[in-house]
């Protein structure tokens, strides 16, 4: 038997989904995931210290996931966070492929439609966090790291 059709979410319930980050569920915490979570927290701390207000973290939809959605003034800032712990990779920011940029841009478009209602000034940033063995993490923030005209 086919499942019964469901009604589209009401604006109120759609808005609630924008505010809350999804649960991590019962997945085991791997070292890589723990490093990624730490990198995202360092990125949030950096953004707040530089005058950004955080709107959402790990916002998901069928088009993809947005690591961080922030606001600075009238600009909505979509932030992709990358991390690395190897010496051969000078900057984790270089690992954001064109395909990843497209997924992020499409997810951002969905975020705007579901959570914001109207399009506003939008910027795509990348924050790279490099964990070094004998020192504090190195943070590199690239504003306007990419544009995504093809996604719209």
pTM exceeds 0.95 for this model: no
Taken in order of first residue, the domains within the chain and their CATH numbers are 60-152 (3.40.1350.10)
Residue 127's H or E segment, with its range, is strand 122-130
Give the model's pLDDT for residue 23. 47
DSSP 92: G
Give the model's pLDDT for residue 117. 63
How many Å apart are CA 28 and CA 107, to the nearest integer?
26
How many Å apart are CA 100 and CA 89, to the nearest integer?
18
SS (H, E, C) 33-75: HHHHHHHHHHHHHHHHHCCCEEEEEEEEECCEEEEEEEEECCE
10-residue stretch averages of pLDDT, the chain, 152 residues long: 47 45 56 90 98 96 96 94 76 80 92 76 93 90 83 48
């Amino acid at each position: 038997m086919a499942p019964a059709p469901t009604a589209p979410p009401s604006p109120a319930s759609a808005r609630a989904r924008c505010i809350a980050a999804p649960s991590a569920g019962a997945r085991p915490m791997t070292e890589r995931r723990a490093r990624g979570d730490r990198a995202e927290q360092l990125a949030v701390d950096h953004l707040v210290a530089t005058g950004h207000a955080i709107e959402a973290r790990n916002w998901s939809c069928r088009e993809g996931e947005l690591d961080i959605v922030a606001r600075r003034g009238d600009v909505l800032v979509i932030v992709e966070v990358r991390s690395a712990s190897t010496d051969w990779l000078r900057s984790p920011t270089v690992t954001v492929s064109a395909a990843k940029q497209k997924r992020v841009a499409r997810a951002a478009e969905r975020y705007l439609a579901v959570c914001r209602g109207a399009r506003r000034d939008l910027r795509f940033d990348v924050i790279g966090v490099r964990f070094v063995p004998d020192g504090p993490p190195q943070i590199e923030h690239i504003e306007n790291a990419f544009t995504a005209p093809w996604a719209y």
